[in-house]
Chains A and B, each alone.
Chain A
Amino acid sequence: MNKLLEIALGVVTSIGGFLDAGTMAASAQAGARFGYSLLWALLLGMACIIFLVEMSGRLAAVSRHTLRDAVHKRFGLNFSLSLLAVSMILNLLVLACEIGGVSMALQLISGISLQWWVLPVAAAMWAVLWFGSFGVIEKGISIAGLITIAFIVGAWKLHPPGPDMLRGLLPSLPAQDKTNYWFTAVSILGANVSPYLMFFYSSGAVEEKWDQSHVTVNRFVAAIGMIFGASIAAGIVVVAARVLGPAGIRVDDYHQAALMLTPLWGWWGFLVFVLCLAIASFGAGVEVILAIAYELAQSFGWTWGKNKRARDEARFTLGYTAPILLASLIMVTGIEPLRLTMFTMALTCAALPLATFPFLVLLNDPIYMREHTNPRWMNYIVAGIVTLACILAVVALPLQIFGA
């Protein structure tokens, strides 16, 4: 019974981890511009992240060490700090996007410019981390994030054509706007396969004192949670395709995306969208901040853990305070959050090879994994993910320039 409860809570948490400002933005643009034809990117991203998250959790449960720890030890200081540097830049940008997402939601509801909301939002995120324990932060925000199920309900009520959706599960080239199509596909993959999620997940497993008995729980949480999260993202694609696409709205900013639920529920639809954007971005923002602090602490050997008192892990606390300030400064400049989000999601792809390659080595290391090393078929899948990551890294920048 306890394990079932753990799986249920873990699944809810995974939904929170999957859906953020990036996924919402990329999915809304994909649906509005290309109908169902980018559902394959969502499916591919979901498959990749299921495997990566499962392996991160398994490594943590079996070795009682985080992915970051293992990377530092097995790949050495130079590789570890290079990965950390890339990761920090990306995570700061992702955090700025999430702060921007919440601020934009507040702007949509209040009419007051998002720049005025940036610092209060950042302060609220910091307060949650300062006062909350890991369990409260993780589960509280994730349960609130269940409101995003509204997109699945919305998609269901709009009666999307089944055959068109099925066709969308296979890659196809559109007649026009090909570069933007591939840019959006790369952004969807970047939004879904976020490196921070793997580091956050494995740190969370250690925080919650997972051991070998959690290997099965981890498997269910990773698979069901990510499928559930991807279903919500698919719901956004479908709603955008049914509502925004036919109206000729291309989703160049969040104001346009906020209209997607209004044909269904009028003003309430607008409110639900705003709440979804605010909660998903806030939750993901808090997770990104924690991921930054975890990565810093685990790379430099600081005491870490959200279940400890701030005074007992001062450097870890500094590790989540400073990034909030830095990310806020990015958003205070008045940069358009949706553009920054799409740019960041595609940029994430450039870092994927560095973040995914260690899985090939670590998950086959018997010192860490004991009898839970990867079976051969899973190594082929990881090799496939690393290959895909390399391709994405190569095409991400040109697509940024020509397709964004």
Chain B
Amino acid sequence: MDLIRDILDTDVLDRNGRLMGKLDGIVAELRPGRPPVLKAIELGLATKARRLHRKLGRIVGRRSKPFRIAWGDIQDIGIDATVKLEAEKTPVLAFEKRVRSILLKIPGA
């Protein structure tokens, strides 16, 4: 498996099939003289910004932190990655919830 081609930027689904976001980053531990170990994946605007430009990443990173999911919590990786968590119980939907609270005031929501 090619980590960059096959894993990075895939959709991340929770255990109920709900979209959590894009797999924006991979966290690996580098070990001297031994192969690196995959520790976690990252989701969030801060990771996206960091990938675009380090300075932009620092600016965005002051306002929002990336959400990390331990590698062991990944259930399956194909075209999408499925994790063992529940999206609603994680901070990845914080912005969604803020917008939702406004929308709920409009008739028909």
Interface residues of A (CB under 8 A from B): 63, 65, 69, 72-74, 76-78, 80-81, 130-131, 300-304, 309-311, 314-315, 317-318, 367-368
How far apart sit A80 and B52, CA to CA, in the bound complex (Å)? 11
- Given known A-B contacts A77-B51, A315-B96, A310 and B109 have beta carbons under 8 A apart: yes
B103 touches A72 (CB 8 A): no
Considering the complex of A and B, which 3 residue pairs feature the smallest CB-CB distances, nearest first? A301-B21, A301-B22, A314-B99
Q: Shortest Cβ distance from B66 into chain A, in angstroms?
A: 13
- Given known A-B contacts A69-B11, A78-B52, A318-B99, A311 and B104 have beta carbons under 8 A apart: yes
**Residue of A81, A131, A315 with most partner-chain B CB within 10 A:** A315
How far apart sit A73 and B81, CA to CA, in the bound complex (Å)? 12
* Residues in chain A near residue B103, CB distance under 8 A: 310-311, 314, 317-318
Give the interface size class of chain B: 20 to 34
* Interchain Cβ contacts under 8 Å between A and B, 28 examples: A69-B11, A73-B9, A73-B10, A74-B5, A76-B4, A76-B8, A77-B48, A78-B51, A81-B52, A300-B21, A300-B22, A301-B19, A301-B20, A301-B22, A301-B43, A309-B109, A310-B103, A311-B100, A311-B103, A311-B104, A314-B96, A314-B97, A314-B99, A314-B102, A314-B103, A315-B99, A317-B103, A367-B79
- Nearest neighbor of B24 in chain A, beta-carbon distance: A77
A301 touches B11 (CB 8 A): yes
* Residues in chain B near residue A131, CB distance under 8 A: 108
- Given known A-B contacts A309-B109, A311-B104, A367-B79, A302 and B19 have beta carbons under 8 A apart: yes
- Pick the contact of A368: B52, B79, B95, B97 (CB < 8 A): B79
How far apart sit A317 and B96, CA to CA, in the bound complex (Å)? 10
Interface: B26 (CB within 8 A): no
A63 touches B79 (CB 8 A): yes
Contacting residues of chain B (69-106) with chain A, CB-CB under 8 angstroms: 79, 95-97, 99-100, 102-104, 106
B52 touches A77 (CB 8 A): yes
How far apart sit A131 and B4, CA to CA, in the bound complex (Å)? 41
- Nearest neighbor of A311 in chain B, beta-carbon distance: B109
How far apart sit A80 and B22, CA to CA, in the bound complex (Å)? 12
A65 touches B99 (CB 8 A): no
Q: Shortest Cβ distance from A82 into chain B, in angstroms?
A: 10
Binary CB contact string for chain B from 28 to 69 against chain A (1 if under 8 A, 0 otherwise)? 000000000000000100001001100000000000000000
A80 touches B79 (CB 8 A): no
- Pick the contact of A72: B9, B95, B97, B106 (CB < 8 A): B9
- Nearest neighbor of A80 in chain B, beta-carbon distance: B9
6 additional A-B pairs beyond A76-B4, A130-B106, A309-B109, beta carbons within 8 Å, are: A78-B51, A301-B19, A315-B95, A315-B96, A318-B99, A318-B103
How far apart sit A95 and B108, CA to CA, in the bound complex (Å)? 24
* Residues in chain B near residue A300, CB distance under 8 A: 21-22
How far apart sit A73 and B5, CA to CA, in the bound complex (Å)? 8
**Residue of B18, B19, B21 with most partner-chain A CB within 10 A:** B19
How far apart sit A65 and B79, CA to CA, in the bound complex (Å)? 9
How far apart sit A302 and B22, CA to CA, in the bound complex (Å)? 8
- Given known A-B contacts A77-B52, A131-B108, A300-B21, A317 and B10 have beta carbons under 8 A apart: no
How far apart sit A368 and B78, CA to CA, in the bound complex (Å)? 10
How far apart sit A140 and B36, CA to CA, in the bound complex (Å)? 55
Q: Shortest Cβ distance from A206 into chain B, in angstroms?
A: 12
* Residues in chain A near residue B108, CB distance under 8 A: 130-131, 310
A302 touches B96 (CB 8 A): yes
- Nearest neighbor of A297 in chain B, beta-carbon distance: B19
* Residues in chain A near residue B109, CB distance under 8 A: 309-311
How far apart sit A88 and B24, CA to CA, in the bound complex (Å)? 21
